[in-house]
Structure 1
């Protein structure tokens, strides 16, 4: 079941149906369906992964999960209002890195990184450069040569500003000594649509986009450490002489008022799903890289990522 609604409606629904946190223990949780808010448009990696989770959620909890969408400001609109939702565990929200570190660094995001309460990061997607299959550019070097001769004229669509795509595009410009123009969209879905429609030269998107589009897209390079099994013929940026490795982590967050035992229970559910053979197969065939960073490891992980992304942002002028 999938619903698109306003954040106000989602919050009202959560408040209207919420059970007092004290009325239920983690052993009894969940006792009804959970609402899963995604802060992006349908069709992107967050949506695809959540749908894969949705397919097996009932088998692990006895109840369904209902997906809702609240796109806006590259995710910031929803994240800035997460803590307004009742913290009973029955409303969770997708959360992304480096978005939730880079957006506050830029300022005026409506939230700080510390405001958010991630309880599990369950997968990772490396960046990649795409062009339409009928593009004149067949190799990354051809694109670089064109950008060198035409500063600012190469446009690259991506999933939101201050996102992993945005950071990757800036790193690429710096490594290649070129100037491209980044065009942010409200999610991977709209940005890929722009590439397919030749609204932009190409896209600095996530490697998983190639799975859904097949031969309609040409991947010129991927920002993984090694070639991905799903794309054995696509070279890494490193192979091509550009030291670029990066992408986005995706997970689940809850309102800050959510009790510790419910936070842990939700993290345990995500871990169980991460080990589900059906889920693993779907994710790997979709080009996702599974991770399993649970709630008890979250402080150390977020601190490490904050240091890493903050250094990268400062080097590229974000937040100055």
Structure 2
């Protein structure tokens, strides 16, 4: 049976209080890791890769639970109602947690959330299905210039990293394409494969999961990905597009500074495990190691960047 955040909260409150423990000894029992999306997406896949390493690093298991709804907002709006004892953590995503509050009331503000570590990044990429006439980004852009508004891009939702990338391409390539938002990566990939859209702006990880069924034309990373060495970056092709989604781990605001740092250190240790590195890179993820001590500066930079993107999307004036 699917457990909601509220159910988890009630169960934790019913449990006997734990004696205070030092952050150095933490954890001494299994932990709960809440994913604010459905199973099968990038947040779930990367958490599952972490899960197999968690016990090796801490001696304790981590149990993954799902709380999907409103593009993650349902779970994030309830995060601070959970106990801050360190034993419940939640997946967190950028730019979602900046763009969602800018777009309207979602039950939380960006500054309400307490990320402690961002451990990976998934670059945006342009995909077409293998039967597509387009072999390169140049061919796609030439077609878009000759047929304004006719090139359609599937993407994983409005006001998302995919949506931002589509707007950037229109501006930099001086074209008019049509972005079609879907309720997540899975449905948007289905649209590409089924020919409902001409192309897609998705995350590079989709290229691994779909194999030869899709062709990646360009990736929005600083350098070519190890898993796709033959795919050029947008920068190589003359377009200054670098972007995607950051994913990490957050805790309730009541969590002590010591436990915040300890959880960040655990995630950093997992990031250094050879088996974890191999799984992540093979799946198309780009590892990052943005710890709690760097969090304020990192989030402030992202807020500035995504606020500018929100203006481009028309979310704010």
Q: Aligned residue for 2:129?
A: 132
Whole-angstrom distance in 2 between the partners of 1:7 and 1:197? 35
Whole-angstrom distance in 2 between the partners of 1:11 and 1:179? 47
| Alpha carbons of structure 1 residues 275 and 267: separation in structure 2 relative to 1, 3 Å | same
Q: Which runs of 4+ in 1 moved over 6 A?
A: none
Contact 2:167-2:312 at 8 Å conserved across structures: no
| Alpha carbons of structure 1 residues 74 and 55: separation in structure 2 relative to 1, 3 Å | same
Structural mapping, 1:191-210, within 5 Å? 191-210=188-207
Whole-angstrom distance in 1 between the partners of 2:106 and 2:177? 25
Q: Aligned residue for 1:9?
A: 7
Q: Aligned residue for 2:236?
A: 239
| Alpha carbons of structure 1 residues 220 and 13: separation in structure 2 relative to 1, 3 Å | farther
Structural mapping, 1:1-320, within 5 Å? 4-17=2-15, 19=17, 23-320=20-317
Contact 1:130-1:204 at 8 Å conserved across structures: yes
SS at 1:26 equivalent:
coil
Deviation per CA, 1:108-157, whole angstroms, max 9, x where unpaired? 22211101000001111111011111223222233223333444443322
Deviation per CA, 1:73-95, whole angstroms, max 9, x where unpaired? 22222111211222211111111
| Alpha carbons of structure 1 residues 110 and 181: separation in structure 2 relative to 1, 3 Å | farther
| Alpha carbons of structure 1 residues 121 and 139: separation in structure 2 relative to 1, 3 Å | same
Deviation (angstroms), 1:210: 0.8
List alignment gaps of at least 5 residues for structure 1.
none
| Alpha carbons of structure 1 residues 53 and 145: separation in structure 2 relative to 1, 3 Å | same
Moved more, 114-123 or 73-82: 73-82
List alignment gaps of at least 5 residues for structure 2.
none
Deviation (angstroms), 1:220: 1.1
Whole-angstrom distance in 2 between the partners of 1:143 and 1:55? 41
Whole-angstrom distance in 2 between the partners of 1:166 and 1:236? 18
Contact 1:87-1:255 at 8 Å conserved across structures: yes
| Alpha carbons of structure 1 residues 146 and 113: separation in structure 2 relative to 1, 3 Å | same
Contact 2:86-2:259 at 8 Å conserved across structures: yes
Deviation (angstroms), 1:4: 4.3
| Alpha carbons of structure 1 residues 38 and 185: separation in structure 2 relative to 1, 3 Å | farther
SS at 1:131 equivalent:
strand
Whole-angstrom distance in 2 between the partners of 1:244 and 1:148? 19
Task: State the TM-score, normalized to the length of structure 1.
Answer: 0.91
Moved more, 209-218 or 188-197: 188-197
Moved more, 196-205 or 9-18: 9-18
Moved more, 170-179 or 86-95: 170-179
SS at 1:128 equivalent:
strand
Moved more, 234-243 or 266-275: 234-243
Moved more, 98-107 or 187-196: 187-196
SS at 2:304 equivalent:
helix
Deviation (angstroms), 1:18: 7.3
RMSD of the TM alignment (CA)?
Answer: 2.0
| Alpha carbons of structure 1 residues 115 and 18: separation in structure 2 relative to 1, 3 Å | farther
| Alpha carbons of structure 1 residues 9 and 194: separation in structure 2 relative to 1, 3 Å | farther
Aligned residues: 317
